[in-house]
Structure 1
Amino acid sequence: MRARRVRGVVVGAVAVLVSVVVFLVPFAFILVTAAKTAEEASLLSFSLPSEWALWDNLVAVLTTRDGVVVRAFVNSTILTVASVALMVVVAAMVGYVLQRRSSRWNPVVNFFVLAGLIVPPAVVPTIWVLQTIGLFKTIPGMVLINATFGLSFCVLLFRAFVSTVPRELDEAAIIDGAGPMRLFFTVVLPLLKPVVITVVVVQAVAVFNDFTGPLYFLPGDENATVQLTLYNFQSQVLSQWNLLFMDILLITLPPLVMYIFFNRQIVAGMTSGAVKG
């Protein structure tokens, strides 16, 4: 028994050490590099700065190219909020219908849901579709792209969690005269809070950190997102490492804070449907 306990302590200590090395050491390197002057940062050494320039680098990043970083944060926030809201509503509806109502169309819908997880996105045909409907290089077009790419994952989560909601609640609401929309939004959706939080956090981080999507489908300085601002501080002839790492630090903080505050809700939403369904 004692040997087993010692083994558990050793394994736990090793796991903590590995977590520190994998997660905290890179973050510490970003932080110290973002606080250095341009000359010190160019050495890319893991050491404390001899002269702290954290505030100066922050001001330089926020004022570069008429505040493109601030504009990018606004664009990324709009994209994230709109895309995640659309994913939550649509995926919750689809997952509820797939779980509650059996029909001959369910296998077809399930096929497309799984295909959305397996088939990689096609850039050129997607651009052609956006150009045809007049949404290329627009925020609404990028919102539709983000919602489409993340919909399959969200549908699977909602469908698994809906199975934990008793059918008697649906029947009672229908007896009381609730229509389909009222049934879903007033009875079912509030009960899906754990999985809604999971979807919101996971997909918000994915959309906020997306690089290739805005690069392909949302070009232009006026549509810049936070990930694309990294180009401002690195080129073939000049790399402003202190400003680049300060920009990385600013981009990293919102998802990190969100994950810290909603860590337990993420785990609960990911496991509840699997355990009970």
Structure 2
Amino acid sequence: MGISKQARRVIVAVIALVLSTVIFWIPFYFVIINSFKNQAESALMNMSWPKSFHILENYKAVLTASDHMLVRAFYNSMLLTVLSIGVLIIVSAMAGFVLQRRDGGRFSSVFNFLVLAGLMIPPAIVPTIWVLDSINLFKTLSGITFVEVALHFPFAAILYKAFVATLPREIDESALIDGAGGGRLFFNILFPLLKPVTSTIIVLESINVFNDFVNPLYFFPGSNNATVQLTLYNFMSRFTTSWNLLFADIVLISIPMLILFIFFNKQIVAGMTAGAVKG
């Protein structure tokens, strides 16, 4: 006797729940519980409950360490995320519109290949630093913003292109007949219709930029320029690591993006599947 369809769904749901618990919730519990311990207990690296809780002192120590570096880092990361996502949305939305609507002839395949190449080719660290330094943008917020936009542009442009394909061309033709120019057609008529995919890009790329470790390390160095991920160095040294403070730091820098993902996960799914009808 075969398994019913409903039973298969239950089995799949149970397997998914177990996997999510093992992959996400157990490590997260490990980080949280060790952030409540003192330095000696946290160094044991186990999931046992602490003999005594040190919640307030641990999190206070993290927030005040290195002259409140974490507070400055939150400001830097939030500002970098907002600027990067704002520029990324405008640039990638216009690019996706042009790539889908305009017929570039034989050059269309070249443009599409160049966009896809951005997903496959890793960034060149040294040449990028040289370029930024030559135009006086190295170690600046503007410079790291351009780097983040460039690295996340291909993915966003592809999503926008797929979504624009679902919008009828009659919208463009009607707007042009009514006398709308290219700028008005895009910003006043088409761009508001891109809200589902825009929401997806805002959430996904905000998480990526906020959690970025490598790019700020190379292109935005300096104690005053530290982002939240770089503050992890505060509690690590060559001889002794304050694991309890390190874990407390991880918890603090995970909270904003975790909240963002929990409240906007439906928008992520909607935007990712919106362009699946046409491509």
RMSD: 1.3
Structure 2 SS opposite 1:128: helix
* CA offsets 1:186-228 (integer angstroms, 9 cap, x no match): 1000000010011111111111111110111111001000110
Question: Which blocks of at least 5 consecutive residues in structure 1 are unaligned?
Answer: none
| Correspondent of 1:212 among 211, 214, 236 | 214
* Post-superposition offset of 1:2: 6.9
- What's 1:27 paired with? 28
Distance of 1:167 and 1:33 partners within structure 2: 56
TM-score (ref. length: structure 1): 0.97
Distance of 2:108 and 2:180 partners within structure 1: 24
Question: Which blocks of at least 5 consecutive residues in structure 2 are unaligned?
Answer: none
47-56 or 230-239: bigger deviation: 47-56
Structure 2 SS opposite 1:181: helix
Counterparts in 2 of 1:12 and 1:120: CA distance versus 1, 3 Å: same
The alignment status of 1:262 with 2:271, answered yes or no, reads no
The alignment status of 1:94 with 2:95, answered yes or no, reads yes
Contact 2:144-2:216 within 8 A present in 1 as well: yes
| Correspondent of 1:191 among 187, 190, 193 | 193
- What's 1:57 paired with? 58
- What's 1:225 paired with? 227
* CA offsets 1:153-174 (integer angstroms, 9 cap, x no match): 1110000000111111111211
Structure 2 SS opposite 1:192: helix
Distance of 1:276 and 1:52 partners within structure 2: 55
Structure 2 SS opposite 1:67: helix
Contact 2:33-2:49 within 8 A present in 1 as well: yes
Contact 2:139-2:221 within 8 A present in 1 as well: yes
* Post-superposition offset of 1:7: 3.8
- What's 1:176 paired with? 178
* CA offsets 1:128-181 (integer angstroms, 9 cap, x no match): 000000000111000000000000111100000001111111112112221111
* Post-superposition offset of 1:106: 2.4
- What's 1:123 paired with? 125
Number of paired residues? 277
Moved over 6 A (4+): none
The AA in structure 1 aligned to 2:7 is V
- What's 1:17 paired with? 18
* CA offsets 1:53-111 (integer angstroms, 9 cap, x no match): 11211111010011000000100011111111111100000100111110244233212
Structure 1 SS opposite 2:277: helix
